[in-house]
């Protein structure tokens, strides 16, 4: 009994000091894409289109209005983004206006595989596609 009370007090303190970012997550433990992307810049840390592709230092700034600015090697490109949730599947559509062939590969509908405040993993939902992108908050 002597150990039970300190243990309960410790557990109460631990639960009361939870990070608010953990509390605001959805039932599946994920944040909606719109909540995650509309703050800060995101760096493309990994891109694969059936093989790893180097798209250089690329950052994306998502605006809450649905527009975006992608910066690749110091050059800005405008574009748009939208999020959709169909039958529990979140998708993120990215469309960047660019002549850069490597950056054009990012233009598509992506299935959101994993999302947190700092990392977003995307996968092309097309059958047989191995295209993936990872974005990291910068």
- In the chain, how many domains are there? 1
Residue 60 within a domain: yes
Q: List all residues 6 or more positions away from 135 whose beta carbon is below 8 Å from its beta carbon.
A: 37, 42, 43, 44, 45, 60, 119, 120, 122
Q: Where in the sequence is the domain holding 53, given as residue range(s)?
A: 31-137
**pLDDT tens by residue, the chain, 138 residues:** 444 444 333 444 444 444 434 333 444 544 577 778 878 889 988 888 766 667 778 899 999 899 999 999 899 999 999 998 877 788 999 999 998 888 888 899 999 998 888 999 999 988 888 888 899 998
The pLDDT value given to residue 4: 44
The pLDDT value given to residue 31: 54
Residue 14 within a domain: no
For residue 45, the domain's CATH number is 2.40.128.270
Residue 75 within a domain: yes
DSSP letters for 1-61 = -TTHHHHHHHHHHHHHT--HHHHTS-TTS---HHHHHTSS-EEEEEEESSSB----SEEEE
Residue 127 within a domain: yes
Residue 10 within a domain: no
Residue 45 within a domain: yes
The pLDDT value given to residue 78: 97
The pLDDT value given to residue 6: 41
- As a whole number of angstroms, the distance between CA 24 and CA 77 comes to 32
Residue 11 within a domain: no
Residue 1 within a domain: no
């Amino acid at each position: 009994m002597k150990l039970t009370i300190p243990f309960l007090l410790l557990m109460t303190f631990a639960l009361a000091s939870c990070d608010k970012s953990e509390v605001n997550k959805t039932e599946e433990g994920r944040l909606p894409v719109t909540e995650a992307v509309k703050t800060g810049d995101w760096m493309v840390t990994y891109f694969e289109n059936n093989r790893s592709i180097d798209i250089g230092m690329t950052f994306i700034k998502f605006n809450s209005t649905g527009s975006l600015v992608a910066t690749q090697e110091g050059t800005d490109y405008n574009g748009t983004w939208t999020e959709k949730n169909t039958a529990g599947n979140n998708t993120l559509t990215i469309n960047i206006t660019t002549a850069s062939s490597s950056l054009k590969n990012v233009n598509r509908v992506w299935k959101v595989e994993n999302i947190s405040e700092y990392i977003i993993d995307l996968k092309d939902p097309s059958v047989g596609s191995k295209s993936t992108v990872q974005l990291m908050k910068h």
